[in-house]
A and B are shown apart, each in its own frame.
Chain A
Amino acid sequence: MSQETTRGDHTHCDPEELALAALGERTDIDTDHLATCDTCQADLASLRRIVRITRSGDAPDISFPAPWVWEEINTEVSNDATSQRPQDARTPVSAGQQSPIAESPTTDQGPAGSDDTGVVVPLRRRSAPWLAAAAAVGVLFGAIGGVVWTQGSNTEPTVVAQASLEPLPGFPSRGVARVQSTDVGDSVTVDLQGLPATEGYYEVWLLTEDASAMVSLGAVGPGETSTLPLPPGIALDRFRIVDISAEEFDGDPTHSTISVARGDLQA
């Protein structure tokens, strides 16, 4: 959209020029029109407010609560749901509508559950979407920046890098991967919550940012914290994306192309 927008008899300012003006750039904006148009002035003012807010301080980190927080909340939620649902008079539902009481809402569906949950990330045959996704993850966590987990303490082994694992669309799993350094070698501890139950297994991978190379670290199960050894000498600045894939017992050692969670290792 590079032409000016026409509404009724008025030719309003080009929205792209308005956005640039809000950022403080010198633009070719129609100043004559702007001086007399309440709509464009209000548009510019509200965009400027956003710019002013973001520039009023540093770029703040968005970080994640520790995994126990949801566990505690979920205990309360599950108890309430169990005790209230059958006799909840405010929201009568028929028996057919009533969902079974979920002991664990996160285990209701497997990776191949309902139709809209399967995220298929083509790996080798069609690499473009995969590359885009990997790049997005890289820059997303670049934006968040810094160390995003706060649960560490001095009593733990030395954590040299960690990744906050974010769910990919359709999967409820998230968690954290920590690279730990000890006298006997390096390992990565993967703590995932919300992994759907599966008839297969989940596998942990390290990928390069452009997904041109990947290393399998081993299998993890739902609801487990797993510590897997890292190949000695692996360049973590290159293999910096931690990826969790849903795998089947099909004998195929390659990535299934179904990723459920992913994150970027930060030192």
Chain B
Amino acid sequence: MSAQPERRRELDDSASGRDFASALANGDGDVAFEEVYRRWSPLVYSVARRALGDGHEADDVTQRVFISAWRSRNSYDPAAGSLPGWLMTITRRRIADRWAERARDRSVPDGDPPEVGSAAGLDGVVDRLVIADELARLGEPPGQIMRLALYEELTHTEIAERLDLPLGTVKSHIRRSLNRLRTRWEVIHDEPGNDPR
């Protein structure tokens, strides 16, 4: 499903990928790429960590993802899909590579057992982490309100009491934040037409 243009405009960070693409065209791609890394590496790493169950392997996959992204940077077209969507496509591939290596080596990873072992299972992980990543960026009090509403399933009345905030404030934050989470999820879920390596 496509994110509506007016919704995309609500997110004026590196999500659009246009900043990165224009920096590449201007020869400032390396500087812009660091910004891309800073903004999106926690999401990439967290997905890999859930998929592989091991922090060290997730570090390794994160490195491979961003090196893949850098090497195929000139094939990235912001008109064809969002930057994080593109990065998530690469992340899925590098995780699949790692799974294949494990299957070949029959290696048993140290650490926690991975949460998922298939591409289909990975989709759910990506979805939840994309939203968690955006939740962590909401600021306060909206972030806390949304965590109470989504994860602890408190009603807006209960949240208002717990945080000692006016009901109207809580309702307004819930509306805005839930719309923002939706926009982020749709922007990333919008499967890119780009074909990274």
Interfacial residues, chain A to chain B (CB-CB below 8 A): 1-2, 15-16, 18-20, 22-25, 46-47, 49-51, 53-57, 59-66, 68-70, 72-74, 76-78, 80-81, 85, 88, 90-91, 93, 97-99, 102, 105-106, 108, 132, 135-136, 139-140, 142-144, 150-151, 167, 172, 174, 194
Contact = CB atoms under 8 A, between A and B. Distances in A.
Contact of A143 (B31, B42, B136, B155): B136
Nearest to B186: A46
Interface stretch (B62-70, B81-89, B96-104): B62-70
Given A54-B150, A98-B27, A60 B128 contact: yes
27 contacts: A15-B179, A16-B175, A18-B175, A19-B175, A19-B179, A23-B178, A46-B186, A49-B185, A53-B124, A59-B132, A60-B129, A65-B59, A65-B63, A69-B45, A69-B59, A70-B41, A72-B63, A72-B67, A73-B66, A73-B67, A93-B27, A102-B31, A142-B144, A143-B132, A143-B143, A150-B59, A194-B34
Best-surrounded residue of A57, A90, A167 (most CB of chain B within 10 A): A57
B136 A23 contact: no
A215 B46 CA distance: 33
Per CB-CB distance, the 3 closest pairs between chain A and chain B, nearest first, are: A150-B55, A81-B30, A65-B45
B143 A76 contact: no
Contacts of A61: 46, 132
Contact of A88 (B27, B55, B129, B174): B27
A62 B132 CA distance: 7
Nearest to A61: B46
B174 A16 contact: yes
Nearest to A18: B175
Please classify how large the interface on chain B is, using the bins under 10, 10 to 19, 20 to 34, 35 or more. Answer: 35 or more
A1 B44 CA distance: 36
Nearest to A68: B59
B56 interface: yes
A33 to B, nearest CB: 17
Contacts of B70: 73, 76-77, 80
A15 B150 CA distance: 17
Contacts, number: 185
Contact of A99 (B31, B33, B37, B62): B31
A63 B149 contact: no
B197 interface: no
B12 to A, nearest CB: 13
Contact of B172 (A1, A51, A59, A106): A1
Contacts of A54: 128, 131-132, 150-151, 181
A20 B171 contact: yes
B30 A77 contact: yes
Contacts of B28: 99
A131 to B, nearest CB: 11
B27 A50 contact: no
A55 B140 contact: no
Interface in B40-93: 41-46, 49-50, 55-56, 58-59, 62-63, 66-67, 70-71, 74
A69 B27 contact: no
B172 A56 contact: no
A46 B135 CA distance: 17
Contact of B26 (A56, A65, A91): A91
Contacts of A72: 63, 67
Nearest to B69: A73
